[in-house]
Structure formats: C-alpha cells, structure tokens
C-alpha cells in the first residue's frame, strides 16, 4: 500500500517522470500482450496456417502421401478439367447450393416471420426449431438413414431413397436441411425483432396486407442478414461432408459425390495426396472468392448487402 | 467481417424484442399456428420417431415402422450401450471435449486479453489474421495435416485431436471473448496497476471474474462443436479404445447396418447429454451459436 501511495503522488506530480513511467508500462504491457498471443499463434501455425501453405505447395506435386513429392506445376489443376469425377462432384455441389439457397432459407423465412407475429409461445417454438442444429451430424444422419432407407418412410412406401441414384442426393439433402433450417430461422427471427415497429404501424395504416408487409417491410429491413446467410449457405454447400459421407459415402454409383468426399477418397484411399490437396485449395479459393467478393461490394462499393 | 459480427450480436439483443412484442398486432390468423406446428413436427418428428424405433423389437419396427412402441423395450438402450462401446466412447469424449474446452479457454482467453486490454502491437493485423483463419475450410489443411501428424506421432492420439480442435475453435472464441472484455471499463485495471498489481493479477483478479459469462458461452459452444465434430475425429482417431462417442456410433452403424433398433438407441444415447444441456442453458446456447454462425 505504501508503494501505491508513493506512486500516486509521483503520478500526480507534473514532471517528465510519469510519461516515462507510462511509456515503460506501455512497453511492458505490449511485451505481455505479445507473450499472451503466442499460444494461439503456435497452435494456429502448426494446424492451420502451416499445413494450409503446405497444401498449396503439395497441390503442385504428384505426392502420394508418402515418399517424394515431385513438383509438377499446375498439372493437378489442369487434370481437374478433364476429370469426370471432379466435374460430377462439382455439379453436385452446385445442385446442393441451389437446394440450400431455396429450401431451408424459404422455410426459415416463413417460420421466422410467423413467429415474429406471435404474441406468445415464440420462444418455445424457437427452441424447438433450433434443436436439430445441436444434434450431431452422425446422429442426424443415422436418424434420417433409418427413416429414408431402413425402417421408416422408405420402407412404408417401399422405396430405398438412399439406394437409388436418382433420389439419393435430394434424400441426403433432406437430412441436412433438417439440421440447418432452424438455425436460419433463429437468425432471421432475431433480425426481424429489431425491425422498427413503426414501419409496420405505418404500413398497416396505409392498408398493407400481411403479405405486402412481409415483402415491403420485413425483407428489405433484414436484407443484410439475409444476404449474409445466403453467402454462408453457399460456402457450407461447397464444404458439405458429414451427411454425405455418413449416409451414402458418395454412392450409389457416385450419385452423391461432392468435392469434400472426393478429396477424402483421393487422399486416403487412392493415395493421391497431391491431387487431393489441389481440391482442398480449390475449395478454399471458392469460399475465399465468395467472402472476398461480398466484402468488396460491401466495403469498397458501399453496397447495402 | 467484423462489422457483421457486431451487427449479428446486436441482432440477438432483447430490447427490440420487448418493444416489438408489445406492439404485435392483435388478432393472429389460426393458419399461422398450423404452419408453425407443422414446422415443429418436421423438427421434432424424426427425433421422436427415432426414440420410438429404439423402443421396439426388430420385428415390431419392420411391421410398424412409424407407430408407437406397444411394449417399450427399455433394455435396447443397455444392449446398444454395451455393443456400441458407448461407455468407452463417452469417457473418450469427456477427455477430448474437456481437454479442448480447457485448451481453448486458456489460448483464447490470453489472446483476447492481449487484444482487448493490453494494447497488442499490430492488433488490427492480428484481428484480420483471426478472421481469415476462422474462415479457412478444414479441407484446405486436412491432407498435409494428416501426414504431418503421422510423422509427429500425433495421429491416433487424443492429444493430437485436442490440439487440432484447439486450433480450429480458438479464433472464433478469441473474437467473442475480445468483445466481452472490451466492454469492461479500463479504469478498473488501470487503478489496479497503479496499486501495484502485476499483469497476471489484473487478469485473474479483475478481468476474469467480470468476463466469466463470456467464458461460459465459449466453453459451451466449444464443447458442442468438439462433441459433435465428425470429419477430424474420423480422420485422426483410428483405435476403437480411443474413439469419441461420435466415431464409436459411426463404427457401430457400419457394423450393424440393418439393426435400426440398436442404431437408433445408440444415436439417442449420444443425443441425450446435449439435449439435456440445451434444455438447461437454452438461451446461452442459442445466442452463442447464433453469434458463431455469423462469423462463419
């Protein structure tokens, strides 16, 4: 306590000393700060940044995962354009993206809007919609596999949705939609809560119907959230792995293969670690371009999205 | 993306909710409830059906897949528990999830403290680095990481998986904690420093006690993510005695592909802990995960 009093006195004295002291403290604080971010940087570099950069290098080699990695330039990337498996997987990702931009977003908007009109039970409904999102992918895939292929709806109708190449992709998508839509509904609901109520009052006075209010008040007001969730849906759709790997492993006959499952197979079954790395780089580039484009339009062009 | 994070979290606040609720229109169309309840049926139906399936015998399930279980077979859970090796799976999950939560809390806590309270040099650049690294897909670094971990002897070890989870889950946790810590007035620590407190004392005696709700939220999200994670666990753990419950369930499923009674029972056993936790901490779950979704 004596030292603290002494320091207070010193701090109160108008002289050069407090400044020196402040800068000394500031420097000490900066040293502490640097020390405190070291653990994060170390694990981050070992797991993410280092292997990420290695991926970029290996994507330009013929590496098998063991043995030497010979530099082959962009051959792996050129190979993609002629690889039917790659192009089919990419097509499936695009179909998946289309499904995820329409179905769960639409369901979430509908659910959230109706919730925002409720006076009671909204929190209960919100919780019930959210529950599938906390169900592990391995559990939700299990539940939906048994419903669609094993013991549920599939066996009642007599169709094995997962065993049929023409129904397998949408069938797996159902399981993933089930997981995602409630999360989106919660986000949209939260965004709708912060819409200025006077806008609704004004539009009611002007005689707008519920539908008109939804399209002319609600949607424009939550547009930033809507755009951002759309962007995330596109990225998630390109990275989807769990549901497909667990429910169909990319089959039957490659009908559900996506880039992530193809990457996994090339790396760990076909010993094509170099080519798999190239697919990984492409996936990272796709999400990078989407996020970058969005940020560019928002920050540089000032688009209100 | 920082603006998005901020706006996202703003969106979750309840002040607007309260005003809005008071001014909700009087009459509500009954069709609203029909649609809302149909959506509840879609969300909860499969979970309920899977519970029903878990309580039937195999022949009952084949004869009446969607009906109520007439004579609930509670013993199925015990059979699934032993056959799917769930006891070991839960123990391994507790180790992996616990290790990850502790690791992330320490790593992200220190980094957030440095960013929010200690005038970290190049703070803006570090923030950008965190945003980028939390947005990078696992697929980018998965393949080299696998072979690196094999070389380092970390493949097929729980500590190896914990390190990976710490790395992938820390950036977001740091950003969230930083925003918690920034809201604590800096006068508190300055006063403590003038009283002669060292940096560690300021951290443990002043910032941590105030920021603990932030730590609780990141612990919850981290635990959920680590418990539910599949791709990395499947890639990096091979031995049955080291598998977390998610991989134990997956292997069981592969082995018993036709026995949907036991598979459903095992799935329900894995679901149950998170379900209970969610019911207890619903609000924190929803807000925390919503924020995590908004940063990617």
pLDDT 10s digits, A165-205: 989 999 999 999 999 999 999 999 999 988 888 888 888 88
Q: Does B119 touch chain A (CB under 8 A)?
A: yes
pLDDT on residue B23: 44
Q: Does A212 touch chain B (CB under 8 A)?
A: no
Tell me whether residues A136 and B139 touch, CB distance under 8 A.
no
DSSP state of B140: H
The residues spanned by each domain of chain B are 35-74, 86-254
Tell me whether residues B196 and A125 touch, CB distance under 8 A.
no
Q: Does A135 touch chain B (CB under 8 A)?
A: yes
In CATH terms, B86-254 corresponds, of 1.10.3720.10, 1.10.10.60, 3.30.360.10, 2.70.98.20, to 1.10.3720.10
- The residues with which A71 forms a beta bridge, in sequence order, are A61
Buried b (16+ CB within 10 A) or exposed e, A46-70: bbbbebbebbeebbbbbbebeeebe
Half-sphere CA count of B1, side-chain side, radius 13 A: 27
Residues of B within 8 A of A204 (CB-CB) are 25
A61 φ, ψ (degrees, to nearest 5): -130, 170
Residues of B within 8 A of A182 (CB-CB) are 43
Tell me whether residues A143 and B258 touch, CB distance under 8 A.
no
DSSP assignment of chain A = -HHHHHHHHHHHS-SHHHHHHHHHHHHHHHHHHHHHHHHHHHHHIIIIIHHHHHHHHHTTB---SSS---B-TTHHHHHHHH-HHHHHHHHHHHHHHHHHHHHHHHHHHHHHHHHHH-SSSHHHHHHHHHHHHHS-HHHHHHHHHIIIIISSHHHHHT--TTTSTTTHHHHHHHHHHHHHHHHHHHHHHHHHHTS-HHHHHHHHHTT--HHHHIIIIIHHHTHHHHHHHHHHHHHHHHH--HHHHHHTTT-STTTT--HHHHHHHHHHTS--HHHHHHHHHHHHHHHHHHHHHHHIIIIIS----
Residues of B within 8 A of A210 (CB-CB) are 29
Residues 6+ apart with CB under 8 A from B18: none
pTM of full prediction above 0.90:
no
Q: Does A43 touch chain B (CB under 8 A)?
A: yes
Do A169 and A92 touch, CB atoms closer than 8 A?
Answer: yes
Mean of per-residue pLDDT scores for chain A: 88
Q: Does B52 touch chain A (CB under 8 A)?
A: no
Asked if pLDDT for residue A12 goes beyond 80, the answer is no
Strand ranges for chain B from DSSP E: none
Q: Which candidate from B143, B227, B250 shows the least CB-CB separation from A277?
A: B143
Residues of A within 8 A of B267 (CB-CB) are 138-139, 142-143
pLDDT on residue A299: 83
B51-57 contacts: CB < 8 A, separation 24 or more? B51/B264, B51/B268, B53/A146, B53/A151, B53/A152, B53/B260, B53/B261, B53/B264, B54/B80, B54/B261, B54/B264, B54/B265, B54/B267, B54/B268, B56/B261, B57/B261
Do B269 and B80 touch, CB atoms closer than 8 A?
Answer: yes
Q: Which candidate from B35, B43, B146 shows the least CB-CB separation from A182?
A: B43
Q: Does B11 touch chain A (CB under 8 A)?
A: yes
Characterise B121 by phi-psi region: left (phi > 0), alpha (psi -120 to 50), beta (else). Answer: beta
A226-249 confidence digits (pLDDT tens): 999 999 999 999 999 999 999 999
- The residue among A30 and B156 whose pLDDT is bigger is B156
Do A286 and A238 touch, CB atoms closer than 8 A?
Answer: yes
- Contacts A–B by Cβ distance under 8 A: 324
Tell me whether residues A30 and B13 touch, CB distance under 8 A.
no
Q: Does B159 touch chain A (CB under 8 A)?
A: no
Whole-number Å distance between alpha carbons of A182 and A108:
6
Query: Of the candidates B140, B146, B5, which has an alpha carbon nearest to the alpha carbon of residue A288?
Result: B140
Q: Could you tell me the pLDDT band of residue B16, with boundaries at 50, 70 and 90?
A: very low
Tell me which chain A residue has its CA closest to the CA of residue B17: A193
Q: CA B242 → CA A235, A268, B161, B225, B251, distances in Å?
A: 32, 20, 11, 18, 13
A271-300 confidence digits (pLDDT tens): 999 999 999 999 999 999 998 888 888 888
Residues of A within 8 A of B139 (CB-CB) are 239, 241, 259-260, 263, 279-280, 283-284
Tell me whether residues B274 and A135 touch, CB distance under 8 A.
yes
Residues of B within 8 A of A131 (CB-CB) are 43-44, 47, 275, 278
Distance from the Cα of A192 to chain B's closest Cα (Å) equals: 9
Residues 6+ apart with CB under 8 A from B209: none
Tell me whether residues A116 and B20 touch, CB distance under 8 A.
yes
Q: What is the ipTM of this complex?
A: 0.88
Whole-number Å distance between alpha carbons of A65 and A272:
7
Whole-number Å distance between alpha carbons of B141 and B90:
28
Mean of per-residue pLDDT scores for chain B: 85
Whole-number Å distance between alpha carbons of B167 and A39:
10
Among the residue ranges A25-39, A252-266, B46-60, the one predicted with the least confidence is A25-39
Q: Does B148 touch chain A (CB under 8 A)?
A: yes
């Amino acid at each position: 306590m004596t030292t603290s009093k002494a320091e207070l006195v010193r701090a109160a004295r108008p002289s050069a000393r407090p400044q020196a002291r402040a800068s000394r403290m500031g420097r000490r604080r900066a040293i502490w700060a640097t020390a405190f971010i070291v653990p994060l940087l170390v694990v981050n570099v070992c797991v993410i940044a280092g292997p990420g950069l290695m991926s970029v290098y290996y994507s330009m080699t013929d590496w098998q995962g063991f043995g030497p990695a010979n530099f082959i330039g962009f051959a792996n990337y050129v190979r993609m354009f002629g690889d039917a498996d790659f192009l089919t997987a990419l097509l499936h990702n695009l179909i998946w993206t289309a499904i995820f931009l329409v179905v769960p977003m639409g369901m979430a908007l509908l659910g959230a809007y109706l919730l925002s009109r409720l006076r009671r039970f909204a929190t209960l409904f919100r919780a019930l919609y959210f529950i599938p999102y906390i169900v592990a992918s391995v559990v939700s895939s299990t539940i939906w596999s048994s419903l669609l292929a094993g013991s549920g709806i599939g066996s009642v109708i007599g169709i094995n949705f997962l065993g049929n190449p023409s129904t397998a992709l949408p069938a797996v998508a159902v399981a993933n939609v089930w997981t995602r839509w409630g999360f989106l509904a919660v986000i949209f609901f939260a965004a709708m809560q912060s819409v200025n109520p006077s806008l609704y009052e004004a539009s009611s006075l002007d005689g707008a119907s519920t539908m008109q209010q939804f399209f002319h008040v609600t949607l424009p007001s939550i547009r930033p959230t809507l755009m951002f969730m759309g962007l995330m849906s596109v990225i998630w759709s390109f990275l989807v792995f769990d549901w497909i790997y667990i429910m169909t492993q990319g089959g039957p006959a490659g009908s559900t293969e996506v880039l992530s499952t193809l990457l996994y197979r090339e790396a760990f079954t076909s010993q094509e670690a170099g080519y798999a790395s190239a697919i990984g780089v492409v996936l990272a580039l796709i999400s990078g371009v989407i996020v970058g484009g969005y940020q560019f339009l928002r920050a540089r062009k000032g688009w209100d999205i | 993306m920082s603006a998005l994070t901020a706006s996202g979290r703003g969106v979750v606040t309840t002040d607007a909710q309260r005003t809005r609720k008071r001014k909700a229109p009087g009459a509500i169309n009954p069709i609203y409830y029909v649609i809302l309840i149909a959506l509840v049926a879609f969300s909860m139906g499969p979970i309920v059906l899977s519970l029903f399936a878990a309580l039937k015998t195999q022949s009952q399930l084949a004869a009446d897949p969607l009906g109520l279980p007439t004579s609930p077979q509670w013993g199925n859970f015990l059979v699934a528990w032993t056959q799917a090796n769930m006891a070991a799976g839960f123990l391994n999950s507790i180790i992996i999830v616990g290790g990850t939560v502790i690791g992330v809390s320490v790593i992200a806590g220190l980094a957030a403290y440095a960013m929010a309270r200690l005038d970290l040099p190049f703070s803006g650049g570090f923030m950008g680095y965190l945003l980028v690294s939390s947005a990078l897909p696992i697929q980018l670094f998965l393949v080299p990481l696998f072979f690196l971990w094999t070389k380092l002897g970390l493949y097929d070890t729980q500590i190896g998986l914990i390190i990976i989870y710490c790395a992938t889950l820390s950036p977001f946790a740091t950003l969230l904690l930083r925003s918690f810590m920034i809201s604590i007035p800096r006068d508190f620590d300055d006063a403590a420093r003038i009283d002669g407190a060292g940096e560690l004392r300021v951290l443990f005696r002043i910032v941590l006690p105030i920021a603990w709700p932030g730590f609780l939220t990141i612990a919850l999200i981290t635990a959920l993510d680590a418990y539910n994670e599949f791709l990395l666990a499947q890639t990096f753990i091979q031995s049955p005695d080291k598998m977390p419950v998610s991989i134990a369930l997956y292997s069981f499923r592969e082995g018993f592909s036709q026995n949907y009674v036991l598979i459903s029972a095992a799935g329900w056993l894995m679901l149950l802990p998170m379900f209970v936790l969610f019911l207890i901490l619903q609000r924190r779950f929803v807000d925390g995960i919503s924020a995590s979704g908004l940063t990617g």
